Amino acid sequence: MPMDFETARFNMVEQQIRPWEVLDQTVLDVCAKVPRERFVPEDYRQLAFSDTAIDIGHGQAMMPPKIEARLLQALDVQRTDRVLEIGTGSGYLTALLATLAAHVTSIEFFEDLSTRAKHHLRAAGIANVALHVGDGLDGWSAAEPYDVIVVCGSSPARRPAIEQQLAINGRLFMVVGSPPVMEAMLITRLDKDSFTCESLFETELPPLLGAEPKPEFQF
């Protein structure tokens, strides 16, 4: 029997996302609208709305839906915002961001993931996105400053080079720490030299390429 994607998407919002303290109606609406199943690899389509990370190859994964929604709520993306996404991945979070913002610049290290995301975004009718293949470890200065930056991989520590690409009052989401202790953080730029940092929740993400934790020395 074919999967009822509309019902599954509704249940994802009501049973996973809303109970995880995501109450912003704009975020709930965009999660209900964007067809997540189109961005999931064919072999995992039945898991498109599950409360789990989904493997997309190269050691990368789609975040669970509730984490994607929670970060969108924290970032408070506006219609006029210019967004940088580091780690295009499947393109699903790119689609959510593009639906909320004016424009999204998205960087992906793996060319095949970027190509696949481009196809899915085009099929979903999303055009306000510029995809680039490259290394986003230190951000993407070509289009700075950004009102919003989303780092879709973890780092053992904050990354000042990326923070410097925020506009004044710009917001950055990233996951900081090393397994098993990682924190999702919201960093806001107050002025040229001042930033605030708020801990949102504990989670775990694969590391940014080049930001893998160094192995501890053992005797």
Confidence at residue 29, expressed as pLDDT on a 0 to 100 scale: 97
**pLDDT class of 214 with cuts at 50, 70, 90:** low
Q: Does the pLDDT at position 2 exceed 80?
A: no
Give the pLDDT mean for 90-114.
98
Confidence at residue 216, expressed as pLDDT on a 0 to 100 scale: 59
Residue 175 Cα to chain centre, angstroms:
10
**pLDDT class of 194 with cuts at 50, 70, 90:** very high
Q: Does the pLDDT at position 1 exceed 60?
A: no
pTM score of the predicted model: 0.94
Confidence at residue 113, expressed as pLDDT on a 0 to 100 scale: 98
Q: Under CATH, what is the fold of the domain 5-202?
A: Rossmann fold (3.40.50)
**pLDDT class of 191 with cuts at 50, 70, 90:** very high
Confidence at residue 211, expressed as pLDDT on a 0 to 100 scale: 79
Confidence at residue 180, expressed as pLDDT on a 0 to 100 scale: 87
Q: Does the pLDDT at position 185 exceed 60?
A: yes
Query: Which residues are CB-neighbours of 214 under 8 A, at least 6 positions away?
Result: 156
Give the pLDDT mean for 136-144.
94
Confidence at residue 215, expressed as pLDDT on a 0 to 100 scale: 63
**pLDDT class of 30 with cuts at 50, 70, 90:** very high
**pLDDT class of 218 with cuts at 50, 70, 90:** low
What's the mean pLDDT when you consider all of the chain?
A: 94
43-78 pLDDT tens trace:
999 999 999 999 999 999 999 999 999 999 999 999
Give the pLDDT mean for 191-217.
86
